[in-house]
Amino acid sequence: MGNAGRLWRVVRLYGPLGCAREIGYALLRFEVRFAGPSMSDYYKTEDLERFAEIGKNAPQLWEKFSAYYGAVFEEGALSEREKALIALGVAHALQCPYCIDAFTQTSLEKGSNLEQMTEAVHVAAAIRGGAALVHGVQMRNVASKLSM
Amino acid sequence: MPGTASLKRRHHELAVIAHQLDVIKHDGGVEPFEQSLSRAGIDALQTDGIRVMQINVGKMCNQTCKHCHVDAGPDRTEIMTRETMELCLRALERLEIPIVDLTGGAPEMNPHFRWLVERVRALGRHVIDRCNLTILTLPKYAGLVEFLARHQVEVTASLPYYIGERTDAQRGEGVFERSIEALHQLNDAGYGQTDSGLVLNLVYNPVGAYLPPRQEAIEADYRRELLKRYGIVFNRVFTITNMPINRFLEYLIESGNYPSYMRRLHAAFNPDAARAVMCREMLSIGWDGDLYDCDFNQMLGLHCDHGAPKHIADFDPQRLQDRQIVTGQHCYGCTAGAGSSCGGALD
């Protein structure tokens, strides 16, 4: 297969948007090679599918974590859909790109819509913002102590 | 651009079935379906009688949905003739198949639709109409709801979500509003109402490259939201996974989701769902009378094989009731997660 054939195969396999993404990755690899790693080099979409590799050197811990993780997200007092929305909010509070990818998909697959998912993100934003703001009381306490 | 006309009308390369089969076979990036079956201890899928005769009466439709596995639309002219319908009826007389499932396109657009329903009902068989809802709001098809109710036809209607924006994103601008109008007509005729005996089921399918939710969970959401927002009642919600063929395949490729969607289906492969797939109890008939194991195989031109007849004129109960099913990479769509069928999840 010639280069044109290979290129056509890639276009067909990944589609125009997928191709653009692959070209982006290629440029990134080029940049890393010649200019050193950048922030975005640490978060690759395909790494999410490699999550289980973390169990290679500590399989028992991974198995226990996996069992616990699975049990947490089972239907209980909260529905699977509610738990996925909580996880989506937490993912934003933690600013974890992998978790955002995973729980956006999970939320859709549990039947949530964009209105509900956006509200979940606002809950995370409100708690993060509130957490910063409530520390203002500490600031006021210190300022009060230091001031006449 | 998807959603404006059929692949065939646009002369899209996926409209060439040999090419599409090549893409499905080689470009999904996951192991062969038969290998997954084999690892689960299943040699090959085998039918277990015929409980459902699914007749695709034509590819003509008044909508051009972006995910359509039939590649149906107003520009498709393939329509089943009355002669072919008579062959179907003759087969029903020879074998006690309890359910006749009418699909399309929009099956109601076939000029012989009502005649076929009357004849099948006269044979005492249960009839399902796979309805896109909006057809019920067109003046040309006035009286259809009353006709369906009079003949106790079960209506299985497409409504991919209870919010208009998402339904329209998949099925076309304004479809949701007209679907709600049609659902009111059906409710008024008794469909979905307790003890009416008129069954109205809704079909959820994902508006994008992801799997459907648990059927019971989304059914509860539909019941609550449709009643609260529109005063609509129904019997069941069926969740159906989008099949990576025809226009949904086009969407997957164009949006860059094809390999990841196939990996998602493959990762969710469920042997129990594979043991219960709908094709094990179904015979699918194309608009021209050709025989298939399911409507998806039909759209890919994959006829019944392994010694089974290939046309309704050659209907042979013995060879069709116990036949090996033709499989391919698209079969991952029916075996992912809780499984998927024309009757919803399999568990």
Query: Which residue type, as a one-letter code, is found at position B117?
Result: V
Q: Would the ipTM clear 0.90, i.e. be above it?
A: no
For residue A103, the distance in angstroms to the closest alpha carbon of chain B comes to: 12
Beta bridge partners, B243, equal: none
Q: Searching chain B, which residue's CA lies closest to the CA of residue A17?
A: B256
Instruction: Spell out the SS3 assignment of chain B.
Output: CCCCCCCCCCCCHHHCHHHHHHHHHHCCCCCCHHHHHHHCCCCCCECCCCCEEEEECECECCCCCCCCCCCCECCCCCECCHHHHHHHHHHHHHCCCCEEEEECCCHHHCCCHHHHHHHHHHCCCEEEEEECCHHHHCHHHCCHHHHHHHCCCEEEEECCCCCHHHHHHHHCCCHHHHHHHHHHHHHHCCCCCCCCCCCEEEEECCCCCCCCCCHHHHHHHHHHHHHHHHCCCCCEEEECCCCCCHHHHHHHHHCCCHHHHHHHHHHCECHHHHHCCHHHHEEEECCCCEEECCHHHHHCCCECCCCCCCEHHHCCHHHHHCCECCCCHHHHHHHECCCCCCCCCCC
Is A15 near chain B, with CB under 8 Å? yes
Find chain A residues with C-beta within 8 A of B159's C-beta: none
**Number of neighbours of residue A139 by Cβ within 10 angstroms:** 9
Q: Do B256 and A80 touch (CB under 8 A)?
A: no
Is A111 near chain B, with CB under 8 Å? yes
In a domain, B1, yes or no: no
CA-CA distance, B265 to B243, in Å (whole number)? 10
- List chain A domain ranges: 1-40, 73-146
Find chain B residues with C-beta within 8 A of A110's C-beta: 213-214, 217
In a domain, B341, yes or no: no
Give the best residue of A10, A46, A73, A81 to mutate against chain B (max B CB count within 10 A): A81
Q: Quick check: helix, strand or coil at residue A36?
A: coil
Find chain A residues with C-beta within 8 A of B161's C-beta: 113
Q: Do B256 and A19 touch (CB under 8 A)?
A: yes
pLDDT of A11 higher than 90: no
Residue B2, pLDDT score = 43
Q: Do A14 and B213 touch (CB under 8 A)?
A: no
Q: Please state, for a pLDDT cut of 90, what percent of chain A lies above it.
A: 64
Q: Searching chain A, which residue's CA lies closest to the CA of residue B214?
A: A110
At the fourth CATH level, the homologous superfamily of domain A73-146 is: AhpD-like (1.20.1290.10)
Q: Do A12 and B208 touch (CB under 8 A)?
A: no
- Which strands make up the sheet holding B126-131, listed edge to edge? B236-239, B200-204, B154-158, B126-131, B99-103, B52-56, B282-285, B291-292
Is A81 near chain B, with CB under 8 Å? yes
DSSP code, position A73: T
Token look-up 């959820």 returns B204
Q: Do B217 and A18 touch (CB under 8 A)?
A: no
In a domain, B346, yes or no: no
Residue B1, pLDDT score = 39
Give the best residue of A107, A108, A117 to mutate against chain B (max B CB count within 10 A): A108
Angle at B338 between CA B38 and CA A109, to 5 degrees: 125
**C-alpha pair distances (Å), A102 with each of A39, A84, B94:** 20, 10, 52
Q: Give the number of domains in chain B.
A: 1
Contact B303, B290 (CB under 8 A): yes
In a domain, B344, yes or no: no
CATH of the domain at B98: 3.20.20.70
Query: Which residue type, as a one-letter code, is found at position B297?
Result: N
Residue B27, pLDDT score = 87
- Residue B7 token pair: 């692949």
Q: Do A9 and B217 touch (CB under 8 A)?
A: no
Is A18 near chain B, with CB under 8 Å? yes
pLDDT of A47 higher than 60: yes
In a domain, B27, yes or no: yes
Residue A9, pLDDT score = 60
Query: Which residue type, as a one-letter code, is found at position A11?
Result: V
In a domain, B3, yes or no: no
Is A14 near chain B, with CB under 8 Å? yes
For residue B324, the distance in angstroms to the closest alpha carbon of chain A comes to: 31
CA-CA distance, B76 to B51, in Å (whole number)? 29
Q: Do A109 and B213 touch (CB under 8 A)?
A: yes
pLDDT, tens digit only, all 347 positions of chain B: 345 799 999 999 999 999 999 999 988 889 999 999 999 999 899 999 999 999 999 999 999 999 999 999 999 999 999 999 999 999 999 999 999 999 999 999 999 999 999 999 999 999 999 999 999 999 999 999 999 999 999 999 999 999 999 999 999 999 999 999 999 999 999 999 999 999 999 999 999 999 999 999 999 999 999 999 999 999 999 999 999 999 999 999 999 999 999 999 999 999 999 999 999 999 999 999 999 999 999 999 999 999 999 999 999 999 999 999 999 999 999 999 877 777 777 66
In a domain, B318, yes or no: yes
For residue B139, the distance in angstroms to the closest alpha carbon of chain A comes to: 33
Is A110 near chain B, with CB under 8 Å? yes
Residue A1, pLDDT score = 46
* Minimum-distance CB partner of B208 among A9, A18, A108: A108
Give the best residue of B168, B260, B264 to mutate against chain A (max A CB count within 10 A): B260
For residue A107, the distance in angstroms to the closest alpha carbon of chain B comes to: 9
Q: Could you read off the pLDDT of A51-96 as tens digits, one per residue?
A: 999 999 999 999 999 999 999 999 999 999 999 999 999 999 999 9
In a domain, B248, yes or no: yes
Q: Do B217 and A49 touch (CB under 8 A)?
A: no
**Number of neighbours of residue B258 by Cβ within 10 angstroms:** 26
Give the best residue of A7, A12, A45 to mutate against chain B (max B CB count within 10 A): A12
